[in-house]
Amino acid sequence: MTRLWWTQVKAVIRLELKKTFFAKRGLWIYAVAALPVLLFIAYAVAMSHEQHRTTEIARDGERRLAYQDLLAIKPGMTKQEVAAILGKPPLVFHWTERRPTGPNSTEEILHEDLHYSDGQNDLYLGLANGKVQSINIHEGYNLGEDAIMFAGVFQFFFLRLAIFFGCLGIFMNLFRGEVLDRSLHFYFLAPIRREVLMAGKFLAGLLATCTIFVTSELLQTIAFLWHFNPQTRDLYLYHNHGLEHAAVYVGVTFLACIGYGAFFLVAGMLFRNPIIPAAAVLIWEGINPFLPALLKQFSVIYYLKSLCPVEIPVSPGTPGLFALFISNADPVSPPLAIVGILVVALLALFVSSVQVRRMEINYTSE
């Protein structure tokens, strides 16, 4: 019996794949999946451009500098003292400012911006009348910051929007699309259990969304790592859990497709208009951090958030509600989170299996 069902599931998948991957209605999903990849490529291009400039400035400088040298500069130092440590600045901007000091008198201030580099990091010094006033060190590779940026894009764009709407587009249409095309009866006339049909369609949707979004996730990681020099990359991948994080992101992407997929499979059977359930689920997932603990559990994002490897820090100035939204107040442990998502998905699949048995062909021939 199960052998037969499996054969039938495979037949359904074969029929569905063309639709889930190449439906004209679904081409925008590729665009949504490509967006973060393009973002990271653009970022990498900008970063390597900047890197190029930094190297140039280091080369143009009088001395070869070390990071330690950059750190030696203190506020209040004179231009000569700076030059004694770092040599003649390779890049200087200056301008004068006329500042009123009384009704008829003005004071003239000479501003100078010096730019040094050790080949990787930039030092920006602001001098006023020959004394160091501001010091800015811009580190070439700020892995910590970049990893948080990656985490932010993943959580707030990729999970909540890209995969969310991608799953909506693909899973909602599994049944609804064929009702709109008036071709669902083709499946309903075959000697196949409705539940088996549903399973086949769900797996076809899963195959499509996982392929699209896992590929996107991998390309994002590659684009993200692209502008680092090999040493930094190795450091990140092998000593800073980079590889591990990349694997976890792929896993979370996979689970997100299962969770949202099951959600939208039911929604596609219960509603004719996709806007309503989409908005409802989006709002439900959005207000999740503010819900009581029990209700929180009936959500996909709740578990996904707990699985994300890099936590996004809340900067001190963030307003309370917003901070609550960003932070993960009461995370669940990873095994529990995985089980949680699978249970939510199974629940949704159970509802849709009841629903699919009840479904009738309600369209007429005209």
Binding positions for another protein, rule: CB under 8 A: 4-5, 7-8, 11-12, 14-15, 18-19, 178, 181-183, 185-194, 196, 357-358, 360-365
Residue 89 in contact with residue 137, Cβ under 8 Å?
A: no
Q: Which two tokens mark 292?
A: 């009581």
Listed residue (215, 291, 305) closest to 259, CA to CA: 305
Amino acid at 36: P
331 C-beta neighbours (distance < 10 Å), count: 16
Binding partner selected for residue 360 from another protein, ligand ATP, none, CB under the kind-specific 5 to 8 Å limit: another protein
Among another protein, ligand ATP, none, what binds residue 189 when CB lies within 5 to 8 Å by partner kind?
another protein
148 binds, among ligand ATP, another protein, none (CB under 5 to 8 A by kind): none
Binding to ligand ATP in span 252-271, by CB under 6 A:
none
Report in angstroms how near the CB of residue 27 gets to another protein at its nearest. 15
Q: How far is the CB of 366 from ligand ATP (least distance, A)?
A: 8
Minimum distance, C-beta of residue 11 to ligand ATP, in the bound complex (Å)? 28
Count of beta carbons in the 10 Å neighbourhood of residue 147: 18
* 357 interacts with, out of another protein, ligand ATP, none, CB within 5 to 8 A per kind: another protein
Judged by beta carbon distances under 5 to 8 A according to partner kind, the member of another protein, ligand ATP, none in contact with residue 19 is another protein
x-or-dash string of contact with ligand ATP, 325-364, rule CB under 6 A? -------------------------------------x-x
Whole-number CA gyration radius for the chain: 28
Strand order across the 91-100 sheet: 91-100, 106-117, 122-128, 131-138
- What are phi and psi for residue 110, nearest 5 degrees? -95, 120
Nearer to ligand ATP, 80 or 362 (CB): 362
The count of residues interacting with ligand ATP (CB under 6 A) is 2
- Quick one: 179 or 252, whose CB is closer to ligand ATP? 179
Which of 180, 177, 173, 178 has its CA nearest to residue 188?
A: 178
> Taking CB under 6 A as the rule, does residue 273 contact ligand ATP?
no
Partner from ligand ATP, another protein, none contacting 285, C-beta within 5 to 8 A by type = none
H or E stretch at 57? helix 27-60
Shortest Cβ 201–ligand ATP spacing (Å): 23
Q: How many CB atoms lie within 10 A of CB 225?
A: 18
Q: What is the DSSP string of 9-41?
A: HHHHHHHHHHHHHH-GGGHHHHHHHHHHHHHHH
Nearer to another protein, 131 or 193 (CB): 193
Contact present, 227 and 51 (Cβ < 8 Å): yes
Q: How far is the CB of 172 from another protein (least distance, A)?
A: 17
Residues that bind ligand ATP (CB under 6 A): 362, 364
